[in-house]
Structure 1
Amino acid sequence: MSSPLSNQVEQALAELERQKAAIDEIQGGLHTVYSTVTAKNRAVAVTVDSRGAVTAIKFPTSAYRSMAGPELGELLVDTIEAARGEAMARTVAAFESMLPAGLPMIDLLTGGADPEHGPLPMDKLLTEMFRTAGPTDDPTPSPPAGAH
């Protein structure tokens, strides 16, 4: 006969294995995800992988030929950054099913989380963590026996 604590440990380990398998599956799928952004003037198109590494730069038209060097350089930087932003958003979206609801992951990764505009929803995060770890939705631990 197994104890309630033993059952909880077994359930937690099974959940950990399930989440690890889900993460492995998502990570495996990210190797085939690419984001391509074309500049508004169609002078350049940049492709990045799921990590934001540039994999291709193309010039779909001859518009780049009439651009000054600094202008083309700025256009390349802007287009690369837009492609990286799209890739990051797609990568975060792939992992969202594994994250607690309401966690602003994209903001945390890009530095966009601003504590002055409100704290992270820690109550929701803790509730979600305890929900998956234990049998109740109440994240408040019970006081020790005899404590007042």
Structure 2
Amino acid sequence: MSSPLSNQVEQALAELERQKAAIDEIQGGLHSVHSTVTAKNRAVSVTVDSRGAVTAVKFPTSAYRSMAGPELGELLVDTIETARGEAMARTVAAFESLLPAGLPMVDLLTGGADPEHGPLPMDKLLAEMFRTAGPDDDPTPPTPAGGR
């Protein structure tokens, strides 16, 4: 006869294996994800991969030829940043199903989550994690020894 603790450990290990398989599947799919953005004036088109690395720059029209150097440079930077933003959004969307609701994934990936400018909503994140642990579980995280 197995004990309740043994059952919980088995369930936790099974869930860990499911999560690992889901992460492996998502990571495998990210290799084929690319985001291509064409500037409004169609002078430049930029493709980036799921990590935001530029993989192609194309000039679909001859509009770039009449642009001043600084103007073309600014257009390239803006188009690259837009493509990176789209790629980041697609990458985050792929992982969102595995993460607790409310986790600021984009901020974490881009370095926007800065503890000096406000903490992450850890109380909400922990409560969500405990809530997803099971319907009979206490939805609030345990209080540390000596805590309030």
Task: State how far apart, in whole Å, the 2-side matches of 1:139 and 1:79 are.
Answer: 44
Identity in percent: 91
CA RMSD in angstroms comes to 3.1
More deviation in 65-74 or 94-103? 65-74
Q: Which runs of 5+ in 1 are unaligned?
A: none
1:57 aligned counterpart, secondary structure: strand
Distance in 1 between residues matched to 2:147 and 2:82, nearest whole Å: 56
Number of corresponding residues: 148
In structure 2, C-alpha distance between the alignment counterparts of 1:39 and 1:5, rounded to whole Å: 58
**Structure 1 length normalisation: TM-score?**
0.85
Aligned-residue offset at 1:110: 2.0
SS at match of 1:11: helix
- Note the C-alpha offset of 1:137: 3.7
Residue 40 of structure 1, CA deviation: 1.5
More RCO (CA 8 Å, sep 6+): 1
Q: With structure 2 as the length reference, what TM-score do the two structures score?
A: 0.85
Deviation at 1:147, TM superposition (A): 13
Structure 2 residue ranges without an equivalent (≥5): none
* Secondary structure of the structure 1 residue equivalent to 2:18: helix
CA contact (8 A) 2:130 2:141 kept: no
Check the 8 A contact 1:46/1:79 in 2, yes or no: yes
State the shift of 1:47 in Å: 0.4
Indicate conservation of the 8 Å contact 1:26/1:95, yes or no.
yes
Structure 1 residues 146 and 102: CA distance shift in structure 2, 3 A: closer
Shift of 1:44: 0.2
Task: Tell me how far 1:138 sits from its aligned partner.
Answer: 1.6
The farther-off stretch of 16-25 and 70-79 is 70-79
Can you list the C-alpha shifts for 1:89-130, whole angstroms capped at 9, x where unaligned? 110001100010111211222233466886433222112222
- Note if contact 1:12-1:133 (Cα within 8 Å) is conserved in structure 2: no
Equivalents in 1 of 2:12, 2:90: separation in Å?
A: 29
CA contact (8 A) 1:43 1:62 kept: yes
- Decide whether aligned partners of structure 1 residues 42 and 144 sit closer, same or farther in structure 2, where only a CA change above 3 A counts: closer
- TM-aligned CA deviation for residue 136 of structure 1: 3.3
Structure 1 residues 144 and 87 mapped into 2: Cα distance closer, same or farther (>3 Å)? Answer: closer
